[in-house]
Amino acid sequence: MKRIPLKVARIGNSRGVRIPAITLARYRIGDSVIMEETADGILLRPRRESGPKLSWEATAGAMAASTEDWSDWDVALADGLDLLEWSEPAVRRVAECAPDYSPPRPKRARR
């Protein structure tokens, strides 16, 4: 993926960047984006309106009506996973700090 340096511009009391038109068109970005703060940096995603979600009954009905052939998956039965004893794994969490939006504290003068 190509890296493009963007200049941070003053917009009132805030700052902003201009996204190139070709990038806006490629990702079909309209008037707004979704911003997420992650451990790797800032992620901007196009804001997409999601359509209505299917109910469990509608999903199961669509799957039952499908004529898809699942026989290729039968070879997976020979892997022996059904013979293994399963236990709950230890919970592992990725350390990701929550963003801190509080203003910086003034430094105390040393005596």
How far apart are alpha carbons 38 and 34 in whole angstroms?
Answer: 13
Structure tokens at 49: 């309106």
The pLDDT of residue 93 is: 63
| Segments making up each domain of the chain, as ranges | 8-46
The pLDDT of residue 77 is: 79
CATH number for the domain formed by residue range(s) 8-46: 2.10.260
Residue 95 CB coordination number (10 Å): 5
Which pTM was predicted?
A: 0.42
Q: Which of 36-45, 46-55, 69-78, 88-97 is predicted least confidently?
A: 88-97
How far apart are alpha carbons 42 and 40 in whole angstroms?
Answer: 7
